[in-house]
Structure 1
């Protein structure tokens, strides 16, 4: 079985760095042999394995048995992610493959099943594992350790999944915690943030229906919509979410019950992962609530993570990305509602965690800074975590002004490929948009379409629109509407945010703009004007300048 080892750098694409022969085989054990007690299981002590990034060697061993009533069973696919920095932009070290099964045999007790065994090389001590059968997810967001072995028995006829093997218990625990999390969310009443509940309950009939539902409400049995039209109600909701993410929450209490039954390192990792995941959700809610008063700062400080919880990162090369993101979001919120800066807050963190949090800030926020090149340099200068530094350096190098744009093809309305290098010779205004996006419509109406009309006769500028839609038919209907584009613009289809060009420049929010010079090199990626006059002045300055980069305007990589 051939397996491609991929590394996702710069959020641009998965670059193949090596091709390995995955050691896959069909295991034919003596009848009645239980995998738990079978000696010499690959991936455990005594087995040779692939080189890890720290110089040692280890594997994760996965055995599968698939039962299907059809003559041909579908194939299982797996994915392993390590060194995750930002899951939004897919910054991670990725391996993925399809399991190649062989028919089971009478003597191995697997007749009528498809059997496989794969040894998956691991470069780190822990990684995030996914396993699926077509559209059917079997295991998701499961943390495995180097040296683990797991047997998966999958009955496609009944959709039943069974786990066995030396390390099945730690996987079952994680599945159990996921079920608890889903149950807790199902029991949490949905909430809507609005300025005045009367805008919703605007008739006696609606008010009467809501009163009836409220009277019949029973915790854990029925649900009701909560209207959060006051700051006090929003703070109470945030407090509830933060409590669930702490020791008062049922999920972490349940995890604590197993503290002495699983590996110490795995327990610490799972505790950080679930704490981060739950706190991240709480921080996202607080961000939506648009906090302004110091009451929010007091709330965040009251439910802040304890120093002993954070100190575990002192011994880690990498922390769970959910934990990192929760700290990033919390520091951003504290910066907003208190006089303390983001980087002052992150400076108090353990070194490796600080580097990940600072890197996440740069990845998410650099477009909003007028001097982001200086910011990048300052953070890189104090960076002490090599793998994080490599990610940031690649992002910086690929987005800095003067770099040539990636020459990956896009499709025009006829389905023909259009390459960015074909735009050379003109100043290029790139507008990334999405069908149904209200902000895209607003930008097109107030800025983009008037600019196209204003520069229609100018021979040195080209307006290019790139849709982030994944549905080509929807894109074509949007083009026909004339609300996003004009007859004189070059309108292209990307197929979605997974396109290398959108990944390269972290295009996940719409609308987003880029400016290219006549040589196809980046002029600007952010810090653009908000008015039509501002855009006109910016474009005129580049058209009037004989150089690729105008020194009269700050360049934002």
Structure 2
């Protein structure tokens, strides 16, 4: 699943680095003593670790359908402060960048124990569900409210797992046939977090000295060097920051990949195919992350800042770097088609594009075969759909490549979603007074929808430098209304920051991300700000409004509205 992060771009880049529940009553006339944790039928923890064959082959689900088609999950949870509902998010059909072709969210129904089911603690609620898996494997995430319990757990058809969540003691434990498989992944995830925690936090700047010369920043940094605690390392785009990434990417010592040595300790305890898949994931995701940093911040950012010398240096070292990473990519793909391997395949081809003038789709088709080819092609197309208005030529080019492929269905759904002239999917908003409104309430005038979140500096600049001037200059002339849609989950924050990111001279609506996630995902609204243009009937003229400067931005909107008006007249005549 594509991770829903409110994205806003800045010049400085920071990287990596209680309700009372019903009590389960004893049988009438009995006064039993219960002590949590006593061995009473379940295997002790030390046996759970040693008896690995039993972990994977000892138990079978009562449901024969679970053998090949579903994942069976049983769980118990202690949630003393009622932090929110338990949801399970599962994804299949993986693409690069955490994208999945199938994303589903299950709101879990919790029940109290009945004593004879073994749930004796009155604080505990239980649940049981099964999840259909049609692909080779799927990915699970457990959330309580907006808090993630665990994520990126890979499961296979026929797996069965018991999950114990105790939010009072902040513990998560596993049992059942796939307990050890989950323990391995949970431990790996913790090892990756521990590695980030132990490393200096990396801050990328255009000019380090310019930053440190402000106020007493240099003195603060030097003082912190003598204090026990975390560290911050400040590097510059395209200079020592490039050298750092290059040293990490060119290092062939596989043992330095975070989590690698931890994984080796579990080798004999998990099936070989699953072990290899985790190896593929670690290798692919590690090199993909650092190559993306190299490409975006040490070639792309210097170009954007006018530092052609640094960008040229990055381009010069790229051939040797890609030759080395091509071997790492082949290793990762040979081990398994993991999400991490796909990430590296995508980043490799995006970096290759810097060196070659051919269209991206040509490079992808030249480098990869099915099923990798269509996954990378579709991922590249999704990125285009997120950042620019798609032309009919672009649709045709990618349709030719993806027709008959494993992603053809998803491509056609996307095409129908982004077809100009469609109505947007139904959605409910709230205005500043809490009144519920729908898009149909605003028909009668052409409408510009502006999506943002409070805290995004780029959204504030976009509104002040583009939207507000355009509305004041052309709003009445074009009969245009501008509607600012905040995706803030906190309505008080939205209202308090309104003057920074919008204005009361236009319509202001709230569309909380936690409630609107599916709608926003449908239209690929992942980065902010984002604007759409609708005609007076509410039909979409453009899903993305862009322009390299105010003049082009203004011209694009006027042109869209004039073309639409011309088409209406042609239909009338």
* TM-score bucket (shorter structure): 0.7 to 0.9
* 1:60–1:121 CA contact under 8 A, matched in 2: yes
Residues 409-428 of structure 1: matches in 2 within 5 Å?
Answer: 409-428=428-447
**What's the counterpart of residue 493 of structure 1?**
510
**Secondary structure of 2:212's match?**
coil
CA shift for structure 1 position 134? 5.9
* 1:104–1:112 CA contact under 8 A, matched in 2: no
CA shift for structure 1 position 245? 9.4
Q: Which moved more, 1:442-451 or 1:202-211?
A: 202-211
Task: Please say if 1:281 is aligned against 2:250.
Answer: no
Residues 74-113 of structure 1: matches in 2 within 5 Å?
Answer: 77-85=87-95, 91-98=101-108, 100-103=110-113, 105=115, 111-112=120-121
Residues 436-455 of structure 1: matches in 2 within 5 Å?
Answer: 436-455=455-474
* 2:73–2:130 CA contact under 8 A, matched in 1: yes
CA shift for structure 1 position 140? 2.6
2:41 aligned to which of 13, 25, 32? 32
**What's the counterpart of residue 126 of structure 1?**
137
Kindly report the root-mean-square deviation, in angstroms, between the aligned alpha carbons of the 2 structures: 4.0
CA distance in 1, matches of 2:321, 2:339: 24
Task: Please say if 1:236 is aligned against 2:243.
Answer: yes
Instruction: Flag the 1:182–1:368 CA change in 2: closer, same or farther, 3 A.
Output: closer
* 1:497–1:508 CA contact under 8 A, matched in 2: no
CA distances 1:242-264 after superposition (whole Å, capped 9, x unpaired): 36897242523443454454223
Residues 395-414 of structure 1: matches in 2 within 5 Å?
Answer: 395-414=414-433
CA shift for structure 1 position 363? 1.0
Task: Please say if 1:264 is aligned against 2:281.
Answer: no
CA distance in 1, matches of 2:390, 2:120: 65
CA shift for structure 1 position 303? 3.0
CA distance in 1, matches of 2:492, 2:252: 43
* 2:532–2:545 CA contact under 8 A, matched in 1: no
Higher helix share: 2
* 2:83–2:144 CA contact under 8 A, matched in 1: no
**What's the counterpart of residue 369 of structure 2?**
350
Task: Please say if 1:148 is aligned against 2:168.
Answer: no
CA distance in 2, matches of 1:470, 1:408: 16
Instruction: Flag the 1:66–1:323 CA change in 2: closer, same or farther, 3 A.
Output: same
* 2:284–2:329 CA contact under 8 A, matched in 1: no
CA shift for structure 1 position 87? 6.4
TM-score with structure 1 setting the length: 0.77
Instruction: Flag the 1:423–1:93 CA change in 2: closer, same or farther, 3 A.
Output: same
CA distance in 1, matches of 2:370, 2:510: 42
CA distance in 2, matches of 1:546, 1:363: 26
Task: Please say if 1:162 is aligned against 2:173.
Answer: yes
CA distances 1:499-522 after superposition (whole Å, capped 9, x unpaired): 254333222222222111233211
Instruction: Flag the 1:75–1:542 CA change in 2: closer, same or farther, 3 A.
Output: closer
Residues 309-324 of structure 1: matches in 2 within 5 Å?
Answer: 309=331, 311-312=333-334, 319-324=337-342
* 2:68–2:158 CA contact under 8 A, matched in 1: no
* 1:366–1:372 CA contact under 8 A, matched in 2: no
CA shift for structure 1 position 411? 1.8
TM-score with structure 2 setting the length: 0.75
Residues 354-365 of structure 1: matches in 2 within 5 Å?
Answer: 354-365=373-384
CA distances 1:428-478 after superposition (whole Å, capped 9, x unpaired): 222223323322232222222222222343373222222232222222223
Instruction: Flag the 1:184–1:550 CA change in 2: closer, same or farther, 3 A.
Output: farther
CA distance in 2, matches of 1:502, 1:73: 25
**What's the counterpart of residue 34 of structure 2?**
none
Task: Please say if 1:174 is aligned against 2:193.
Answer: no
**What's the counterpart of residue 502 of structure 1?**
520
1:193 aligned to which of 204, 210, 235? 204
CA shift for structure 1 position 179? 2.3
* 1:78–1:99 CA contact under 8 A, matched in 2: no
Instruction: Flag the 1:441–1:64 CA change in 2: closer, same or farther, 3 A.
Output: closer
Instruction: Flag the 1:416–1:85 CA change in 2: closer, same or farther, 3 A.
Output: farther
Q: Which moved more, 1:31-40 or 1:403-412?
A: 31-40
**What's the counterpart of residue 306 of structure 1?**
328
Residues 357-376 of structure 1: matches in 2 within 5 Å?
Answer: 357-366=376-385, 368=387, 372-376=391-395
**Unaligned 5+ residue runs, structure 1?**
1-7, 12-29, 51-55, 552-557
The number of aligned residues is 506
**Secondary structure of 2:65's match?**
coil
**What's the counterpart of residue 487 of structure 2?**
468
